[in-house]
Amino acid sequence: MFSKACEYGIRASMYIALQSLEGKRVSLKEIAEEIDSPVAFTAKILQQLSRNKIVDSVKGSAGGFQIEKEQIKKIKLSEIVYAIDGDNVYVGCGLGLKKCNANKPCPVHDKFVAIRDNLKNMLESASLQEMTEGLEVGTTYLKR
């Protein structure tokens, strides 16, 4: 569904959000440990998220990553996915045709559009805030 990079990106964002709500800034190392991802690769992804204003990065000793509380409420999963995977998830034919559309559709066009719209709606309505709620009370997990 998503690329590995995107999976790590989403999980990292969720972890940063979780800690930011506690007022804690977190280091790359800690993030990678807590979401069980390769450190250096995660660094690359955090750079992307930082450039795309999804997360704030602070250099130097006592630096790390954080997300402002207001942002945690606003940021939707769709923005994270878009920052890393682009619009691949939303656009593009299920069967790989370059110019598939309602006018000249592939045989599964309508069925795919329906499913993709579901996915899109889900990602556009799921905020980081909402995602952290289960993490806080221990009913959802970011590794294992």
Select from 24-32, 42-50, 54-62, 118-126 the region that touches its own copies (CB under 8 A): 118-126
Answer for which of 14, 32, 75, 80 binds its own copies (CB under 8 A) is: 14
**Which 24-43 positions form the footprint of DNA (CB under 7 A)?**
26-29, 37-41, 43
Instruction: Please report whether residue 99 would count as binding its own copies according to CB under 8 A.
Output: yes
Instruction: Please report whether residue 50 would count as binding DNA according to CB under 7 A.
Output: yes
Instruction: Please report whether residue 41 would count as binding its own copies according to CB under 8 A.
Output: no
Instruction: Please report whether residue 137 would count as binding DNA according to CB under 7 A.
Output: no
Answer for which of 10, 20, 65, 81 binds DNA (CB under 7 A) is: 65
DSSP strand E in the chain: where?
Answer: 56-58, 64-66
What is the nearest approach in angstroms of DNA to the Cβ of residue 8?
7
The span from the first CA to the last CA of the chain, in angstroms, equals 19
Residue type at position 133: E
Answer for which of 4, 44, 51, 73 binds its own copies (CB under 8 A) is: 4
Cα separation, 134 vs 123, whole angstroms: 17
Retrieve residue 67's tokens.
């997300």
Give how far Cα 53 sits from Cα of 4, 8, 37, 123, Å: 20, 17, 21, 18
Residue in the structure block whose two tokens are 């190392």: 29
Indicate the pairing of strand 56-58 with strand 64-66. Answer: antiparallel
Strand, coil or helix: 118: helix
Applying CB under 8 A, which residues contact its own copies? 1-2, 4, 7-8, 10-11, 14, 77, 94-100, 104-109, 111-112, 114-115, 118-119, 122, 126, 131-132, 134-135, 139-144
